[in-house]
Amino acid sequence: MVVFTKAREKLMRIIADHKIPLLEETFGRFGEVRRLASTDLKPSAIKNADALLVRSETRVDADLLQSARVRFVGSPTIGVDHIDLPFLRRAEIGFSNAPGCNARSVVEYVLTALCNLAHSQGESLIGRTLGVVGVGNIGSRLARDATRLGLRVLLNDPPRQREEGGTKFLAIEDLLDCDFLSLHVPLTRGSQDPTHHLFDQDQIGRMKARATLINTSRGAVVDNRALTRALESHQIARAVLDVWEGEPQPQVDLIRLATIATPHIAGYSSDGKLRGTWMVFQQFCRHFELDAESIELPQLSPPRTPVIAAGSLGPGAGASAEWCIQDAIQRAYPILRDDARLRETLAVEESARAHYFRSLRANYPPRREFAAFQLGAEFPSRARQLLTSLGFKDSGSSGSERA
């Protein structure tokens, strides 16, 4: 393995999207990191770079790299829709993304939404049915954790069904009677299992009237106009939407009708972003044969209120382990703050909405995952046991600061 000397390190030039976290603490050890806005990542700006680090907003293809000396491209994202992989292979340019880096973040988003919906309706989640469409990294984790919350979970994943067989996976028609449907599929067209408008007017119309559709995958997996009509006519009861057709300018009527509406940030936890940076950094070191064994994963700042006390959400909640669980989850991630931020776009001039949507994502405030929070000593044992299975820390003491 080659270890760069100080002289050689100075020759390594790394151009990166300025919103990628902890660049100096990782990549900066092996050269000069220059941060640029995604709109400034143009051929003239990167032509002398050895490595290019981008987010999903930047299209990486021959037009961008044809005249550059870039030998490695990293994208700390789960998707590769923005990357021309065949071109990179032909040009012998190394590449890494970060599959699964934000899985925990998305799962916690959905769990929090479920708890919020149950609380707002004064209902229990125990015994309700959740259909999970797409059982990959995110869907499988969601199924496990939702089962822990007491939901009955049904699974749909045609590629896995063909590969694994058995009765674990059901046809999508068998999930349409679920209380909640959560979508976790890539956006595909023309494949064996196309997902573009997978939930169209017909599929949405066959869902039960009191159902909730949750989409954190890609906006066009759901026909947004059909969903708008279904919500207007009360064909289905509720929708939780983090992704939208027409991003960065979602359909305004659909934002108004959604029970929870957020600006494509389900996977935006600080922990997930750090994991993404770290995964790409590890591949960067392998590609350039750099010795990174002594470099430790950077640490994130703790939450403002790291200890969560057992509270109550409503009448009788103090005696209910389920209410304590739902309370802790919503304290760890106040999802309605993100909902309120997106709804502010409704008051923005139409010409400025796309910029406002992008700014909500680019300037998203720090959000820690459940594992960053400790449970106070007051939690009943059943609630404590379930919450620790979801990632919360059991401190054994209440601490001085409480969420």
Structure tokens that stand for 257 in this block: 């009708």
Three-state SS for 382?
helix
Residue 304 half-sphere exposure, CB side, CA atoms within 13 Å? 6
Known active-site residue 184: no
Please tell me which residue in 104, 119, 184, 264 is annotated as part of the active site: 264
DSSP string, 24-87: HHHGGGGSEEEEE-GGG--HHHHTT-SEEE--TTS-BSHHHHTT----EEE--SS--TTB-HHH
Q: Tell me 102's DSSP state.
A: T
Known active-site residue 218: yes
Known active-site residue 369: no
Please tell me which residue in 32, 57, 247, 378 is annotated as part of the active site: 247
| Contact assessment for residue 180 and residue 153, using Cβ atoms and an 8 Å cutoff | no
Q: Tell me 242's DSSP state.
A: S
Please tell me which residue in 141, 160, 197, 218 is annotated as part of the active site: 218
Structure tokens that stand for 371 in this block: 């594992």
Give burial (CB, 10 Å; 0-12/13-18/19+) of 37.
Answer: exposed
Mention every residue, 6+ apart, whose C-beta is less than 8 A from residue 321: 380, 382, 383, 386
Can you tell me which residue has the tokens 């026909």? 223
Rounded CA-CA distance 350/347 in Å is: 9
Structure tokens that stand for 119 in this block: 């609380």
Mention every residue, 6+ apart, whose C-beta is less than 8 A from residue 329: 108, 111, 112, 115, 370, 387, 390
Can you tell me which residue has the tokens 């044809």? 66
Catalytic residues: 218, 247, 264
